[in-house]
Amino acid sequence: MKRIALFAILLAACAAAPGETVDLGEAVYRMIIGGVVIGEATLLRFYVWHTVGLIVPMIFIMAWHGFRVRRDGGISHPPRVDHQPEGPRIDREQLVRTETIAFFVTLATLVVLSTFVNAPLGNPPERGLAAEEIEAPWIFLWVQELLRVWPPAIAGVLVPAIVTALITALPFIDRKDDGIAVWFNKQGRVSQIIFAAIAVLIIGLTLRAALR
């Protein structure tokens, strides 16, 4: 087990532990951890949740997104003010060809980078490593900073859930037809402010944790 994985496992264990701010109960704790203490069963369960529990919902969400884009007529375009007919659009054959080329170029770039540049997960944690000495991967540094002031159930579960819910709700908050496909339109100020506040919060906490 690598050190960056240990942070997520300990966070989940502390958040689900009976007696925390959000008491999920002994049964839920054992279901998440796979026993009384962290062991091989815990690693297996986290592996399955990451490979199945995340990928399956993402496949459904991506398929639903593609269906909605296709059903609603494609990507939004700003309305023409001169009432002239729209110019020619890229046809499906050219679009598929362009996307295929972009896919293989990106794949080749990643293969070359992975050949010459290592991206290890990190060294295994030393025995006897205290919980406060475990550092989160960079993408979760803002969560680690929140853990300094709030319990794991709040900082590691409730706050990320609220942030995810707000980001998910942004398209449903801005439902006006005016200002479609216009950057920073006035009609979408509420969504823009919410997104900017979340971005500033996450970036600020990440930088603060990184500079410690």
Per-residue tens of pLDDT for the chain, all 212 residues: 555 566 677 776 666 565 554 455 677 777 777 777 777 888 888 888 878 888 898 999 889 888 887 777 666 666 666 666 555 566 778 878 998 999 999 999 999 998 998 766 555 555 555 555 667 778 888 988 998 888 877 888 889 999 999 998 988 887 777 777 677 888 888 889 999 999 999 999 999 988 88
Residues in the chain: 212
Q: What confidence score (pLDDT) does residue 21 get? A: 45
DSSP 176: -
Token digits of residue 119 = 């991206």
- Residue 91, CB half-sphere, CA atoms under 13 Å: how many? 2
> Which sign does the torsion angle of CA 185, 186, 187, 191 carry?
positive
Q: What does each C-alpha distance from 105 to 91, 96, 101, 112 come to in angstroms?
A: 21, 14, 6, 11
Pure H helices in 72-188: 92-116, 141-146, 152, 159-173
How far apart are the C-alpha atoms of 162 and 55, rounded to whole Å? 21
Q: What does each C-alpha distance from 32 to 17, 45, 53, 116, 161 come to in angstroms?
A: 10, 7, 13, 38, 18
Contact 147, 155 (CB under 8 A): yes
Neighbours of 188 (CB within 10 A): 20
Q: What confidence score (pLDDT) does residue 154 get? A: 85
Contact 143, 167 (CB under 8 A): no
Look at residues 190, 158, 160, 161 and name the one whose alpha carbon lies nearest to residue 174: 190
Q: What is the pTM of this model?
A: 0.65
